[in-house]
Amino acid sequence: MQTDLADFIKDTDDGREADAILRTCVHCGFCNATCPTYQLLGDELDGPRGRIYLIKQVLEGQPVSRRTQVHLDRCLTCRSCETTCPSGVKYHRLLDIGRAVVDQRVPRSPADKATRFVLGEGIPRQEMLQSAVAIGQWLRPFLPAALAAKLPAAIPAADRTRPGKPLTVHARRMIAISSCGQQALTPNTNAALSRILDRLGIEVLTPATGCCGALRYHLGAQEQALDDMRRTIDAWWPYIDDASAGVEAIVMTASGCGLQVREYGELLKHDPAYAAKAARVSALARDVSEVLAGEQKELLALLPQAGARQPVAFHSPCTLQHGQQIRGLIEALLVAAGYELSPVADAHLCCGSAGTYSFTQPKLSKQLRDKKLATLEATSPALIVTANIGCQTHLQSGTATPVRHWIELIDERLAE
Ligand code: SF4
Ligand code: SF4
């Protein structure tokens, strides 16, 4: 694609990166076929190719309108288009750059600003979110149905007594993120991680961090998100920098956070104080499925002999299958652990959670959730499992079938 970027951006880091990305797009439109918003809305400007054109126009200095912002806002950043694209277009980076320019030029309504402020300030603060969830659970009968459905079930007392702290001191160590929305909403996920890795002779360290930055980044608050990333690196660095700490990996149980940490190196590459540290942190990041696949022989030796298990439907989050390009590991581990996997059609499509999308684009988000649940429940599985907190709570809000993190199933098998 030919480009002619405007003076305001062409000689900047973002301008050079956007120009290179735009030039890789050959305008073939293959990406539209796997884009959830294009499938729902049927508008070229709600598909990746159209959005790429909109961003090109913005960066070439053409007028920007609220309509441009709406089409970019409707993008889930699911990256399904990147998996499909034969030219390797790094769409998500172009979108980041395009959204930042559009948001500087098109003011948001007070209501939109307030929603984004509350989400950006509330969800990353674990204690605040924990308190809000506890109050919400208490008031559930009086809340609007849509809000009540977003609340997780009350956390069983047995799980509260197992807060994901190291169980035994081991020579092998991995870091896990300590404070995030997941810990407030489903604390049993990281508790299960600690128990599983403990059985494998690996200690989980949880230095106090805060949000990894994913949430604010996806809300468009990119500078605040970069500060979240720097703070997280500062919390982890003493353990990474000290060879005697023996940290092998940063193990992530939420694939959305895992993708963000994997991209610290890319996002902080122009920050002289953090570029090298960020690259090292990204190189150490692993999804829990990669860690357990690496330990599969030892893990299987600990599991009881497989009996007949409940049928389970697995939803692969976009941040796992498209963002991190991890496919098939979890399915293989669940089958090896004795679970029967239900077939799921259109597994490449987003469930509509997409960070804060369910709050900022509730109508589209609900349509995508209901389509996803129809495919997940087509064979009436006993359970749905996934690998990201956002997908877990979003899917659970639309079904009575329990939706859980897949490592909880492995943890339960180990406890049998
Ligand atoms: S992003 Fe890729 S698939 Fe989509 S139009 Fe461009 S080259 Fe084709
Ligand atoms: S990231 Fe997802 S929603 Fe956005 S253009 Fe690509 S496929 Fe469509």
CB atoms within 10 A of CB 235: 18
Query: What pLDDT score was predicted for residue 151?
Result: 63
CA of 247 to the centre of ligand 2 (A): 36
CA of 285 to the centre of ligand 2 (A): 25
Average pLDDT over residues 39-47: 97
Average pLDDT over residues 362-375: 97
CA–CA dist 287, 250 (Å, integer) = 8
CA of 345 to the centre of ligand 2 (A): 19
Q: For 73-99, b where at least 16 C-beta lie within 10 A, e where not — what string?
A: bbbbbbbbbbbbbeeebbbbbbbbbbb
Atom number, ligand 1, closest to the C-alpha of residue 26: 7
CA of 375 to the centre of ligand 1 (A): 27
Residue nearest to atom 7 of ligand 1 (CA): 25
Least confident of 95-109, 155-169, 363-377: 155-169
Query: Has residue 162 got a pLDDT over 50?
Result: no
Structure tokens at 350: 């987003």
Query: What pLDDT score was predicted for residue 160?
Result: 37
pLDDT, tens only, 382-395: 999 999 999 999 99
Q: Which amino acid appears at position 251 of this protein?
A: V
pLDDT band at 187 (very low <50, low <70, confident <90, very high): confident
Query: What pLDDT score was predicted for residue 105?
Result: 95
| Site to substitute for ligand 2 among 21, 25, 34, 35, most atoms within 8 A of C-beta | 35
CA–CA dist 31, 83 (Å, integer) = 8
Atom number, ligand 1, closest to the C-alpha of residue 24: 7
φ, ψ of residue 116 in degrees (nearest 5)? -65, -35
pLDDT, tens only, 130-156: 666 666 666 666 566 666 666 666 655
pLDDT, tens only, 91-130: 999 999 999 999 999 999 888 888 888 877 766 655 655 6
Query: Has residue 344 got a pLDDT over 70?
Result: yes
Average pLDDT over residues 341-352: 97
Q: What is the DSSP string of 75-102?
A: -----HHHHH-TT---HHHHHHHHHHHH
Average pLDDT over residues 195-221: 90
Closest CA to 94 of 209, 170, 33, 16: 16
Query: Has residue 409 got a pLDDT over 80?
Result: yes
Least confident of 27-41, 54-68, 233-247, 344-358: 233-247
| Site to substitute for ligand 2 among 41, 75, 94, most atoms within 8 A of C-beta | 75
Identify the residues whose C-beta falls under 6 Å from ligand 2: 35-37, 48, 51, 75-81, 91
Query: What pLDDT score was predicted for residue 136?
Result: 62
Q: What is the DSSP string of 17-34?
A: HHHHHHHH-----GGGGG
pLDDT band at 363 (very low <50, low <70, confident <90, very high): very high
**What is the layout of strands, in order, in the sheet containing 383-386?**
340-341, 311-314, 383-386, 403-405
Q: Which helix (H) or strand (E) holds 251?
A: strand 247-252
CATH 3.40.50.1860 in the chain: give the residue spans.
305-415
Q: Which residues pair with 252 in a beta bridge?
A: 287
pLDDT band at 220 (very low <50, low <70, confident <90, very high): confident
Closest CA to 378 of 344, 329, 332, 404: 344
Structure tokens at 192: 């299960």
The answer to whether the CB of 55 falls within 8 A of the CB of 98 is yes
Measured on CA atoms in the order 230, 236, 238, 243, is the torsion positive or negative? negative
CB atoms within 10 A of CB 104: 9
Least confident of 40-54, 169-183, 218-232, 351-365: 169-183
Query: What pLDDT score was predicted for residue 104?
Result: 93
Least confident of 57-61, 177-181, 244-248: 177-181
Query: Has residue 347 got a pLDDT over 70?
Result: yes
Average pLDDT over residues 324-344: 95
Residue of 125 and 175 predicted with greater confidence:
175
Least confident of 154-163, 202-211, 336-345: 154-163
Chain mean pLDDT for the chain: 90
Closest CA to 172 of 264, 302, 291: 291
Query: Has residue 8 got a pLDDT over 60?
Result: yes
Query: What pLDDT score was predicted for residue 306?
Result: 64
| Site to substitute for ligand 1 among 32, 51, 79, 87, most atoms within 8 A of C-beta | 87
pLDDT band at 340 (very low <50, low <70, confident <90, very high): very high
Q: Does domain 305-415 have CATH number 3.40.190.10?
A: no
CA–CA dist 101, 200 (Å, integer) = 48
Q: Does domain 7-105 have CATH number 1.20.210.10?
A: no
Query: What pLDDT score was predicted for residue 180?
Result: 72
Closest CA to 179 of 118, 236, 224: 236
Structure tokens at 158: 């047995």
Query: What pLDDT score was predicted for residue 128?
Result: 59
Q: Which residue has the tokens 């960066």?
A: 59
In a 10 Å sphere around its CB, with 0-12 CB exposed, 13-18 middle and 19+ buried, how is residue 242 labelled? Answer: exposed
CA–CA dist 82, 68 (Å, integer) = 21
Cα-atom radius of gyration of the chain, to the nearest Å?
21
Closest ligand to 47 CA? 2
Residue nearest to atom 7 of ligand 2 (CA): 35
The answer to whether the CB of 191 falls within 8 A of the CB of 199 is no
Length of the chain: 416
**C-alpha distances out from residue 18 to 5, 95, 224, 252, 330, Å:** 9, 9, 22, 30, 34
CATH 1.10.1060.10 in the chain: give the residue spans.
7-105
CA–CA dist 367, 349 (Å, integer) = 12
Residue of 212 and 135 predicted with greater confidence:
212
CA–CA dist 403, 332 (Å, integer) = 19
Residue of 310 and 158 predicted with greater confidence:
310
Measured on CA atoms in the order 149, 152, 156, 157, is the torsion positive or negative? negative
